[in-house]
Amino acid sequence: ESFHAAKMAYRQFKIRVRETLSLGHSGPESLEDTVLDYIVRHEDLYDVQASVNEVIRSMNINPRISFPPEIDFIVISTLIRELCRVAFSMQTLFPPLDIAFGTDGELFSENKYHRSFDSDFTAALVAYHVWPALMEDDIVIVKGEAVTKR
């Protein structure tokens, strides 16, 4: 959720910067290069709290995630904030880095994941993901970790 929220915020931020800079852009650099340079230099303008709020809202309505009633996702808001910051920064790289979107029950892929030590090594389906794979242009750079169970 943190990566999704940060990627959406990055796209919106980039659109606003492009619209603003396109009004008076001139010079040797392309508009896209100028936009990316501006975003990198002004990364502090990223409204990380809005992304944190979006993540917490999404997690609260997700029926697969449950906490005891006395616990709120606010408890992990510091972790969510840092994940959003990292995800936003990963979008400013060329090419941007991303994480593999995994779904529980997907077919286990040796190319994308290592099996967790407590996995059933004969199971073909992912029970849950421990850590996502790091991707660049749909190519796995660092394998993630997944648990397979029957």
pTM of the model: 0.79
- At residue 26, the 3 state secondary structure works out as coil
What's the pLDDT tens digit per position in 53-71? 999 988 888 777 767 777 7
Give the separation between CA 52 and CA 88, rounded to whole angstroms.
Answer: 12
With beta carbons less than 8 A apart as the criterion, state whether 134 and 99 touch: yes
In order along its 150 residues, the chain shows pLDDT tens digits of 899 999 999 999 999 999 999 998 887 889 999 999 999 999 999 999 999 999 998 888 877 776 777 777 888 899 999 999 999 999 998 888 888 877 767 899 999 999 999 999 999 999 888 888 999 988 999 999 999 988
Contacts made by residues 79-83, CB under 8 angstroms, sequence distance 24+: 80/1, 80/2, 80/52, 80/55, 80/56, 81/48, 81/49, 81/52, 83/2, 83/3, 83/6
Q: What is the pLDDT of residue 66?
A: 67
